[in-house]
Amino acid sequence: MKSRLNAFGVHLLASALLVSVFASLVLFVWYTPWPILDAQGGTKILLMMVTIDVILGPIFTLMVFKPEKSRRMLITDMSIIVIFQLMAFGYGAWTIYSERPAFYALFAGEFNVVAASEIDIDAALKSLPEADADRRWVFVDAPESAVLDSMLKGTPPVEALPQYYRLLSTVDAKTIGIKATSLEKITFKNQVNDWLQEHQLSADKVLLFTLNAREHKAVVVVSAETVLPLGIVEE
């Protein structure tokens, strides 16, 4: 039993370390600010990875690891478990990585999450000037002809076309303010109001825009003075 517990402990530690490193990248690098991961549905995938890699994998090791087995059989059993884990981890990791937000593009009064799989990030960044602000937040200044082409010809949506990007921080507040939504029109206005109070902000000092997220409704709070994003509030 001691040998089985040792094998379980080693497997659990290795699995937890791997998932912890990956989760740190997801939460603090790729999917910021919170709660964009949850709004996009990535939390479910991350929890699935934790369940398979940190819980089920070590449990399977505890079940099959028996010292009386031959060395060859132990290697075979453990190989099957590790391969199963790596396949599950690889699928989840690739899905989360490829769908990570590359840009938050403001167009037609709402922010759209442009995934890394939808755009050439390096090319898009080259078209944007260097800035202290987060360059993922952009304003889409597209002509009507481009919008029509996107609708009628099946070309990529304009929010995924970097040639129309402008840094959000360089846009005049009045230009985007006319498209902002009011607090009263938001179905979860209580959560938004609580967030504003928590951050000591008044409604007249911010601009509110809906976020076109996959899983949950959300609102982006933008400063009416600096035109910088202040945070995301999820329903």
Q: What are phi and psi of 220, to 5 degrees?
A: -95, 130
Q: Is 134 helix (H, G, I), strand (E, B) or coil?
A: coil
**Phi-psi region at 229: left, alpha or beta (left = phi > 0; alpha = psi -120 to 50):** beta
pLDDT of residue 105: 96
Q: Which residues, listed in sequence order, are joined to residue 223 by a DSSP beta bridge?
A: 206
Decide which of 144 and 233 is more confident.
Answer: 233
Mean pLDDT throughout 118-131? 90
The helix or strand, by DSSP H or E, that contains position 233, with its residue range, turns out to be: strand 229-234
- Model pLDDT for residues 126-178, shown as the tens digit of each residue: 889 888 888 999 999 988 888 887 777 777 889 999 999 999 999 999 999 99
13-27, 34-48, 56-70: least confident range = 56-70
pLDDT of residue 146: 82
Residue pair 227/209 in contact by the 8 Å Cβ criterion? no
Determine the residue type at 43.
T
Mean pLDDT throughout 33-56? 92
- Model pLDDT for residues 80-101, shown as the tens digit of each residue: 999 999 999 999 999 999 999 9
Query: Cα(203)–Cα(17) distance, rounded to whole angstroms?
Result: 43
- Exposed/middle/buried for residue 211 (C-beta within 10 Å: 0-12, 13-18, 19+): buried
Edge-to-edge strand ranges of the sheet holding 101-107 = 165-167, 137-140, 101-107, 110-115, 206-212, 218-223, 229-234
The helix or strand, by DSSP H or E, that contains position 37, with its residue range, turns out to be: helix 36-39
Residue pair 165/216 in contact by the 8 Å Cβ criterion? no
Query: Cα(142)–Cα(145) distance, rounded to whole angstroms?
Result: 8
Mean pLDDT of the chain: 91
Decide which of 151 and 52 is more confident.
Answer: 52
Cα distances (angstroms) measured from residue 176 to each of 5, 141, 172, 208, 227: 60, 11, 7, 10, 9
pLDDT of residue 71: 84
Query: Cα(195)–Cα(181) distance, rounded to whole angstroms?
Result: 16
Q: Give the domain ranges of the chain.
A: 2-98, 101-234
Q: Is the pLDDT of residue 1 over 90?
A: no
